[in-house]
Amino acid sequence: MQEYAGAMQELAKSIAGVLVTNMGVKRGLWEDDCNAGTCFLRLNRYPPCPISPEVFGLVPHTDSDFLTILHQDEHVGGLQLMKDSKWVAVKPNPDALVVNIGDLFQAWSNDVYKSVEHKVTVNREAERHSIAYFLCPSYESFIGCCKEESSIYKKFTFGEYRSQIQHDVKDYGHKVGLPRFLVST
CATH classification at residue 131: 2.60.120.330
Residue 185 included in any domain:
no
Residue 157 included in any domain:
yes
Round to whole Å and give the CA distance between 147 and 17: 16
Question: Which of 27, 42, 45, 128 is flagged as catalytic?
Answer: 128
Residue 138 included in any domain:
yes
Give backbone dihedrals phi and psi of 41, rounded to 5 degrees, phi first.
-115, 135
- Considering the entire predicted model, what is its pTM? 0.89
Residue 128 annotated in active site:
yes
pLDDT at 182 over 90: no
Radius of gyration of the chain (CA): 17
Number of domains in the chain: 1
Q: Which domain holds residue 81?
A: 1-180
pLDDT per position as a tens digit, 96-138: 999 999 999 999 999 999 999 999 999 889 999 999 999 999 8
Bridge pairing between strands 142-143 and 128-135 = unpaired
Give the list of residues 6+ apart from residue 39 with CB closer than 8 angstroms, or none. 5, 9, 12, 65, 133, 134, 135, 136
